[in-house]
Structure formats: structure tokens, C-alpha cells
Amino acid sequence: MQASRFITLDDIAPLARGCAVLGTGGGGDVRSGALAAGRAIGEHGEVPLVTLSDLQPDALVVPLSGIGAPTVSHEMIHAAEEPGRIAEEIERIFGRPPTAIMSSEIGGGNGVAPVTWAASLGLPLLDADGMGRAFPEVQMVSMYVAGLPAGLLIMTDVVGNVTTIRPVDGLWAEQIARAVCVAAGSSALMADYVLTAEQARGAVIEGTVSRAMAIGRATEDAADPLGALVAELAATRLIGGKITDVDRRTTGGFVRGTVTVEGVGADRGRTLSLEIQNENLVALEDGLVRAMVPDLITVVDTQAATAVQTEGLRYGQRVTVLAWPCDPLWRTPAGLATAGPRAFGYDLDYIPVEDLS
């Protein structure tokens, strides 16, 4: 296998910054993940970043993610043994070891942590993920939308339990995996699908690790970080203002709530509210939708243009809310059925963000 490039220590900060932006508020904290990734590269060496064309058709790709409430995963670092236990179970089931690790979810900490998992296993990371963003539920992955049967989930936790689920469909996968996660203390490491490189073609969103690093790099030394980020994302600026209300609770392994942003400066007199379920899902102004899932909605610090995750939202923060189009896969009928507004209980017909502005 020929790696296209390597992820080095210098890549971690921009990767983390980009993943936080793509996290739309969720996917877990990037800071602890970035620290762990730096340590892992120091210990195990740089991580090869490969593309699907670098892999043999029968190579086993393992999409990994942490599952659980971000509130909890802040506090629980996945032990080094966890990816090893998943790899061991895969070898037991498939009779051969995994070839490459993939991030199930590029958004948030789940986009950064696979560097650590790949490094500790001595495996390359695939430049792709299953969302192109973050989503709160297990079945909300491109592999499911692409019609691959939800054949196999492998979960492990800090204690060392290993649970393998062969669900009848993606919704049962979510229901059982969520229950196992909550039983294990609301935090677990999970392989959702195990794919051959051949199966992965058209069923994963390619190039998203590079994309996250590019987003991070665009803002890190910019004179006007917010302007640079808006340009890099081709994003719509929904509002610039300050947070005046945060109504947030953690329940059943999820963080849910509503956040209110009141405009300042040019936006004075306007109010935007965000509906949240781990991620920012719907942005409303005067009862009208300004952006909705599966399009990406991210709250950033107005000064630094760094993403603010759901857990970091605080009264009085100066923030700008950005929205931009999701991967085209999510706009297909299957994509919208899986992760459109109705999949989250909102009685809304999906309208692309670029048509709402």
C-alpha cells in the first residue's frame, strides 16, 4: 500500500480546528482528541493518509467513532486498548486483520481521534468519513444511505466489554448501540460497518480529512479569520451577535436544547434561535427557517473564527452563526429520509440553505 501523504504533528492543530467547524456543535470535543493525537504520533510515528485507490479491493476499512453524550466524552478518554480490542474482534470475525481506519464522523473530536486509533494500531487512516460533518445517531452515515446493509457493529468501552451487534437495519442498530453505550457509562468506541475498499467506493465521503485540515489552515494565520473561514466554506453568515439564552440538558445519552443569539452591530434588532440535538439542527429567525439539517450550521467565536461546540456555548459569548451546504449524498431522497429535518422530529420540508438566504 502506497500512502498519498502522512499526517504529521503539524497537521493536528489545523485538523482539530477544521473538525470542530465541521462538527456543527457536536461530534465530541476536539481539544483532548488533539492532545491524544499529538502524543500518539510522538509515540508511534506519523500516520499514513491513504485514498481508496491506494487500497486493494478486499482491504478491510474500519469506520470508528466514539459514541455517547459529548458532556461525558469530555471526561472519558478512550483507553489505548480500545481500538486493539475492536481490531481483535474484527480479526476473529473476518479471519484477517483490518487494513485501514476511517473516521465514521469527521465533525468534532470523532474526526481527530482516528489519528490516535490508527497510530496506536500501526494502520493508515483513510482520507474519508461517513458523514462529511457530525450527526447524533448511529444510522446517519453515508454507508447506510448508500444502501449497504447495516451488517455489523462492534463496540467496546473503557472497562473492556466488547459487544458485537448484527442489527436487522440501521434504526435497530441505533436503538441497541445506544442502549449498550448508556449501559457502559454513556461512552463507547464503535466500529459501525466493516467495509472492503470495494464496498467503500460511493458509500463513503472522500477527501474529508484533507478538507478539515484545509479549513483549519485557512483561518490559522489569517488577518481576518472570520472572513477567511466564510470564504473557505462558501458559507452564509446567518447572524453576528451574542448568546442571550442557553437551554441545554443531557438525557438518554444526548444533549438537547435551544440557544438564542441576539444580533449586535449590523445585526442589532435581529434574533436567531438554534435547535440542538448534540448538533445544531435548525436555525430560526422570526419563526422562519434560515438553515436546517442536513446542511451544516456552526457557531463560531466572532473574533477567532474557532467553532464553539454545543457544550461550550455560554451566555454572553460573541458569536457568528454560519451555514453551508452538506454533501450532495444527504440531499438525495435516501439521505433526507435518514438525516433530513423529519428524521429529527421537525415537521419541515427540506430547503437547501442557499435557497433560503
Q: Residue 147 CB, nearest distance to a second copy (Å)?
A: 18
Q: What is the DSSP string of 314-329?
A: -TT-EEEEEEEPPPGG
Q: Please answer whether residues 57 and 197 qualify as being in contact, where contact means their C-beta atoms are separated by less than 8 angstroms.
A: yes
Are 140 and 338 in contact, with CB atoms under 8 Å apart? Answer: yes
Closest CA to 126 of 136, 118, 135: 118
Of 148 and 181, nearer to a second copy (C-beta) is 181
Residue number, 192 or 295, with CB nearest to a second copy? 192
CA angle 248, 31, 173 (to 5 degrees): 60
Place of cell 459487544: 163
Rg over CA atoms, the chain = 19
Q: 125 has which bridge partners?
A: 49, 101
8: helix, strand or coil: coil
Nearest to 115 by CA among 218, 43, 26, 201: 43
Distance of closest approach, residue 299 Cβ to a second copy, in angstroms:
33
For a second copy, the closer of residues 161 and 303 by Cβ is: 161
Give least dist CB 268 to a second copy, A: 48
Quick one: residue 349, left, alpha or beta (phi over 0 = left, psi -120 to 50 = alpha)? beta
Nearer to a second copy, 171 or 264 (CB): 171
Longest dimension (CA), the chain: 63
In degrees, rounded to 5, the angle at the alpha carbon of residue 48 between the alpha carbons of residues 189 and 157 is: 10
Question: Which of 106, 152, 109 is CA-nearest to residue 129?
Answer: 106
Cβ at position 80, least distance to a second copy in Å: 16
Q: Identify which of 66, 38, 33, 31 has the alpha carbon closest to the alpha carbon of residue 158.
A: 66
**CB closer to a second copy out of 189 and 291:** 189
| Least spacing, CB of residue 73 vs a second copy, in Å | 18
Beta carbon of residue 77, minimum distance to a second copy (angstroms, whole number):
18
Task: Give 92 or 314: the residue with its C-beta nearer to a second copy.
Answer: 92
Residue 134: CB minimum distance to a second copy, A: 23
Measured from the CB atom, the residue of 139 and 210 that comes closer to a second copy is 139
Nearer to a second copy, 163 or 280 (CB): 163
Please tell me the distance from the alpha carbon of residue 204 to that of residue 321, in angstroms, as a whole number: 28
| 195-216: burial string, b at 16+ Cβ within 10 Å, e else | bbbebbeebbbbebbbbbbebb
**Least distance between a second copy and beta carbon 283 (Å):** 32
To a second copy, the closest distance from the beta carbon of 254 in angstroms equals: 15
d(CA 269, CA 254): 32
Binding residues for a second copy, rule: CB under 8 A, are 89, 92-93, 159-168, 172, 175-176, 178-180, 182-184
Residue nearer to a second copy on the CB measure, 67 or 118: 67
